[in-house]
């Protein structure tokens, strides 16, 4: 392959990369990525909070004050 053909091929590849970058940075794609990341963060935080609360209640059950805490939480929800 001669140098001119290589340069032409590299130029084509650069143009393809520029188009891919342009598409990946489009406002629609960035917006949708933000929505998906927000939903994922919300679900992950909810699961993590449930695990932490479960562990805390288990420890409080061992200590013997679990019922006091549960009664307090129930009084807050009423």
Sign of CA dihedral 24, 26, 32, 36: positive
> Taking every pair of C-alpha atoms in the chain, what is the biggest distance, in angstroms?
83
Whether the CB-CB separation of 57 and 66 falls below 8 Å is answered with: yes
Q: What is the dihedral of CA 20, 26, 29, 35, to 10 degrees?
A: 150
Those residues whose C-beta lies under 8 Å from the C-beta of residue 36, and which sit 6 or more positions away, are none
Per-domain residue ranges of the chain:
3-77
pTM of the model: 0.57
The SS3 call for residue 61 is helix
Tens of pLDDT, residue by residue over 1-24, are: 788 888 889 898 999 999 888 888
Which band of pLDDT confidence, cut at 50, 70 and 90, is reported for residue 29?
confident
């Amino acid at each position: 392959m001669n140098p001119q053909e290589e340069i032409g091929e590299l130029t084509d590849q650069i143009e393809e990369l520029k188009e891919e970058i342009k598409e990946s940075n489009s406002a629609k794609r960035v917006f949708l990525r933000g929505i998906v990341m927000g939903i994922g963060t919300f679900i992950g935080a909810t699961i993590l909070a449930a695990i932490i609360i479960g562990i805390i209640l288990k420890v409080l059950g061992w200590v013997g004050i679990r019922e006091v805490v549960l009664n307090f939480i129930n009084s807050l929800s009423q």
